[in-house]
Structure formats: structure tokens, C-alpha cells
Amino acid sequence: MAGRGTRCYLAVDLAVFNEPTSTLNAWINSKHPILECLHLLKTSWQSPLRTPEFEFYHRISQRAKELRMDIPHMATMLAGGRIQGSLQSFGPVPEGSQPDRNAREIHWILLKETGRPLGTFNDSKQLLQAIEDTAVTIRQLSRCDVLHRDVSINNVLINVLTGRGLLVDFDAARDDRAAAVAGRPGITGTPDFLALALESQPLHAVWHDYESLYWVSVFAILRHMPQVVITHRDRTHNLDNSLARAKCMDEIFGARTQPPQMSGKYDFLREADYVINNNMAISSYMERTSSHLEALYNTFAKIKSIIKQLKSILSSTLSSEDNSSDPSLLSGPYDPLEELQVWTPQQHSTLKWLKNYTNANHHGLKGERDVQDHLTTLLECCDTLACLSGRLLTDTQAILVQDRITQIRSDISSLPHISFPGHGLFSVARFRAYGFSSQAAVPYRVPFQTDPMERMRLGVGRLTAVTPYERRHRTGTSFSAFTGDI
């Protein structure tokens, strides 16, 4: 596995040192004598098959101008490119004209703004403001047909000059105007902050980035907010020291499998109770955002149950027609649907859709229109199954199936309204009335453990000889387990 070897440097324009003495004196006496002229230089080894990060910055800038839209909380690119002659292969070279997926070349990019980690917020208002600024930026990027796809604790910064949010790192971004890339689902991002829906590998949607932002805020609050008490998995954690924070976060973000398992985060949404003492704003924020996502995934669970019942009816009906006792008839190479020539193309298409349905179908929904189309198709499945049972089953069997379908139709009609997370979910104005705590972030320092394996379990030491899935979440490593999506 070849990594990107990303390096970041502070850069100063040489023209600053060529200014007259009077200008330098004015610069030194200004409000931000150093920060105003500091920029960020980033270098990394990137695959030549990927769209370069500097190209994304260029496209976003051009499209924002076309839309007459300003994106103030995204880093501004001053310059960028690739170093000619740096292309190297870090693995076996493929035969013939196949693209070398192990090849890497050096890309560089110079950003105007510099930022500090989100976990260094001055107070709770600054933390929530940075989260809201990032949410607004995600919305603006979607208007430019670009998805970030790696919203993580290391990519959401606090601008050192303005104190507002700053979104960086477009290495994993996707341009939805590039049709060759847009149709390839997969998992891309930093494991700890992936949306739960991405476990089923649907096509990445903008609301997945919003959910990732929620997990970024949870990570920052549990890791750096003072006076946090959380009850999770029948355990009460008083997060009054770094070791307690590490153990609590291990329960939530600790799973390291490929593909990543999200059981800890699922449990957190369903079961966690939390109190941030003397900080009603953060407590209300956590309650509101968590409840929103919990309701969304509860609805998804109901849709999954409905699909399971519909598939059961289809399987039992076709098994009856084939006089077969095999309950897995739909999963074998023989497709009984192809033998039924009496259906209209629409009916046949609906049953094929039901047969091939997976969790990715509803986890990949993008908006209200997709939801309505999805529910309409589910109702069409009920109608088609009712017609199918009437033709293939005995009268007694058909009546029983009709009763089940009637109940399923009722369940579909009573499904709660599906509301995907959006930028409004993170609005600071909703929590201003509660008042913000003036307490700054708590440093995260796990005491030294005499047992090296204990230090490794808590993610204190840096693990350099393991895969991104095995690295502990506190190193913030991102990965891309794509299926040809490069």
C-alpha cells in the first residue's frame, strides 16, 4: 500500500522582506504582524489517475464566480501544480497499456489561509460557529457540484486570523459533473467520521458530509469540552481527564475492520445520554442533532423491515409456483422472474428492483424527490405482488398474502417524514438563547502507560507499520476503499 506522504509547511512571501523599512515597521506594528503574511504549502504523493486537489480548487473557484457566490470558509488556493519528472511506481508495473495504480507523483498547493486544529477552540461559541461555517461551505460546494467526502477533525480548522471555520483538503473530493466518476459507489473518508449509511456503500450524497460533520463535532466535544458526563452502554463516563476521554471514545469510535463497522456509533445515537455541565448550548446542540439522526436511521430501519417482508412474500409466492421448498430461490442462478411472461414491463421491472434491493438503495437517497420516488416504488411492489399472488396461489393462500400486503401498505403510508441533515441543523442561532460557556478547550494528553500495548490500544503512540484501517482514530488517518473510484 502506497500512502500520500502529505507534508505541510508554513510559507512566507519573499516580497515581504524586500519592502522598505517603513512598510516593515508598519507591518510589525499591525494587529496580526506575522499571521497576515503566513501561508500554507502542502505537498503529497498523489496518483496521476486521480483528479488533483489543485484542480478541484480551480473548478470550485470558477463555478463560484459563475454563480456569483463567495465561499469565505474554504481555503483559497494561491497556486498549485505537479512537479515534473517526479512520477514513480511503488509496486509491480502492470503489463500492456493498463494504468499503473501504484504510480505516484508529487503535487503541491499553496493556500492563502492558515488554520489551527478544531480542538483548540477558545469557547463553545467558537466551536459551534466553526461547525456552522463548515456546514454552510458544504452547501455551497454542493451548488458547485462538488462533494468533499472527507469531512474530519483534521480537515475542519479554525482560521487563525478570523477565528471562524475553515474547510481544507480536497484529496478525496468528487466532481458530480464528471459522469465517469459520479456513478461509482464506494467508501471514501476518515473511518471515525463516516456517515453510518456509508457502511452499505451507496453513492456518496451531500447529506453524508453533513453527518460526517456531526461526528466531527461529537469527537471535538467528547475530546476537548470540559465537564462532560456521558452514559453509554450502561456505563457512566465522567470525562474529567484524558484517559477517561480515551476509553469513552474507544467505545464509540474504536471499531477497526474492513469495511468499517459502525456499531459503536449506532449505539451512541440510540442509547447515549450526555450532560455538559454549565453549558446548555452544547447540551442542546448534542440533543437536537443526535435526535435528528436517530429519527432518520429509525425510519431507514423500518424501510429495511418492509423490504424484508416484501422479499419474503415474493420468495414464498415464486417457490409455490415452482413447487420448490428452497427458501433461497431468489438468490440462486435460476431466476423465476424470467419465466413469467405474463407481466407488463413495468411489473417485471418493479419485481427485479425488489429482488436486487439492498440497504444502499435507501442509504443513497439524496433528497425529498428521491424519497417520494422510493416510497412510490414500494407501493408499486405491493400492487404487483398482490397481482402475482392472485395468479399463482390458491384462493386461501392469496387472501393471506393480500392481508399481509394491506398491512405493509399501511406501514409504508405511516412512515415518518424523512428529513436529511442539512446546514440548518448546525445553525448557531438556534442555541444562542441558551448562552455559551466561556471555557476553552481542554488539552488532550493521555498519561504515559508503562505497558506499550496499553499505549497502542489508547492510540497514544503513532503506528506506522499498519494499514489505515488498523491505525487508531486519534491519528486521524483517512482511507479510500473504492471500487475503481480513482
Number of Cβ within a 10 Å radius of residue 82: 15
pLDDT number for residue 267: 87
Q: Collect all residues with Cβ–Cβ distance below 8 Å to 281 and sequence separation of at least 6.
A: 124, 125, 128, 431, 432, 434, 435, 436, 437
CA 194 to chain CA centroid, Å, is 4
pLDDT number for residue 262: 79
Q: 235-284, pLDDT tens digit by residue?
A: 787 888 888 888 888 888 875 555 556 788 888 888 888 888 878 888 88
Per the rule left: phi > 0, alpha: psi between -120 and 50, beta: everything else, 8 is beta
Q: 278-324, pLDDT tens digit by residue?
A: 788 888 898 899 999 999 999 999 999 999 999 999 888 877 654 34
Among the listed ranges 5-9, 197-201, 290-294, 370-374, which one has the minimum average pLDDT value? 197-201
Report whether 161 contacts 116 (CB < 8 A). no
Is the omega angle on the peptide bond into residue 259 within 30 degrees of 0, that is, cis? yes
Say if residue 325's pLDDT is above 50: no
Percentage of the chain modeled with pLDDT above 70: 76
pLDDT number for residue 432: 76
Greater model confidence, 445 or 166: 166
Say if residue 179's pLDDT is above 60: no
Q: What is the DSSP letter of 74?
A: B
Report whether 101 contacts 486 (CB < 8 A). yes
The arithmetic mean of pLDDT across residues 72-89, rounded, is: 87
Average pLDDT, the chain: 79
The arithmetic mean of pLDDT across residues 439-445, rounded, is: 76
The arithmetic mean of pLDDT across residues 478-486, rounded, is: 33
Among the listed ranges 214-218, 347-351, 382-386, which one has the minimum average pLDDT value? 347-351
96-133 burial: b if 16+ Cβ within 10 Å, else e: eeeebbebbbbbbbbbebbbebbbbbebbbbbbbbbbb
Report whether 313 contacts 292 (CB < 8 A). no
Number of Cβ within a 10 Å radius of residue 466: 13
Name the β-bridge partners of 15: none
How sure is the predictor about 363, in pLDDT bands with cuts at 50, 70 and 90?
Answer: confident
The arithmetic mean of pLDDT across residues 100-125, rounded, is: 89
DSSP string, 386-434: HHHHHHHS-HHHHHHHHHHHHHHHHHHHTPPP-----GGGG-GGGTGGG
User: Which among 164, 88, 77, 91 has a CA at the least distance from the CA of 121?
Assistant: 164
User: Which among 134, 110, 102, 138 has a CA at the least distance from the CA of 37?
Assistant: 110
Say if residue 436's pLDDT is above 80: no
The arithmetic mean of pLDDT across residues 160-176, rounded, is: 93
